Structure 1
């Protein structure tokens, strides 16, 4: 049997692994599934069609799986999916998806979500990300693996943030951010490559140099974006160690729907 505090309310239809812990005054709804080793702190509400993986930690006062803050939502059974080993600090709000998108909001694995963060409907967040206090995602936002959002960063709906990107404190983001790029400001502007993050994750000097060269083609060469994309193909051959990373930047640029921060 799961370890459930006597004051907690857990619907008998909820599916909790026997190793799950539920703290005082928490509420677990009927369509919730929680995997092994997950700890739900006190005063947490988990509702909706929500699936949570293994070894997650939810701190007090979070609202997980509530209906989307979208006036078009009409009671459809949309979903929230949370992976494994995520840390979710105090007062976070994660909403389910909408039928206007895939119908599911997703959070991957090994993410660190600090206090007062919001994941709106249909957001797709990868793995190993860090959200500092009060980072806020509007609906339909995509965040790649290893991205970092600093405190009070706000992201407009439908924006995409590439893998290993870094969003500075108080940044107002209304356009897409390519992989590895560091942006900050209101409005946001690009300020180089997230070199420190790449070093911490074991990128080699040739990889970093190749990504920096790609950044200069996009942001410092004076080329149009289309011309820079063509030049990036040549840069892949000139920087073979970084070819895959430059390829990821190219793929991202091809899918950017709101234009990129420049």
Structure 2
């Protein structure tokens, strides 16, 4: 596939992934949303369907990596050329930023209603209720629409959780999901991957919110930091390295396991 195929497929596919995935997070977060307080099962199913849609759109063009961890896993396994890795990751990050911006556009009114609601942000000048004690480095009241955060902050555990969950994802892709060329997802592989993401969310997503994708977390976190949202709080940069490092480790380890055990 050409460089333009990789760029177009990964940008569009990842943008759709983040639009639908971030969209379900927004839907259950905002008080003025019809899906308000829909719960974790709704979020997990929403992300599964986001992967299904974004990957089907991109599979025939770029192979539908949509995730730097998948790209690294495929490069270690040998299906993707290392020379293509930077373009894949750049395209995935670009798509993630576009998708997060589209979530803001779609939920524009809900963002402002939520962030100006006294029950959410308190009186003017008060710390947000989502940040215990008003800590400046904690997540803001709508950061969960964009990025992940742990329930218990423990760097080793948080990295381990993201690493293990990503190993499951990438191993499933490498063993069950690749197309005939071995460079990306095939039609059946897209469905399998979406179901695996749903399973990971339901089973392993509780501790950290299962980023399992550096672009999915870092791209939208950049958008959260850049958007002129009132009372939005911190973008929690002290945690931002975890959902990047953990999934990248997981992708590389999964590629190595595949080569040892399955190749």
Larger Rg: 1
Q: TM-score range by the shorter chain?
A: under 0.3
Between structures 1 and 2, the one with greater strand share:
1
The normalised TM-score by structure 1 is: 0.20
The normalised TM-score by structure 2 is: 0.20
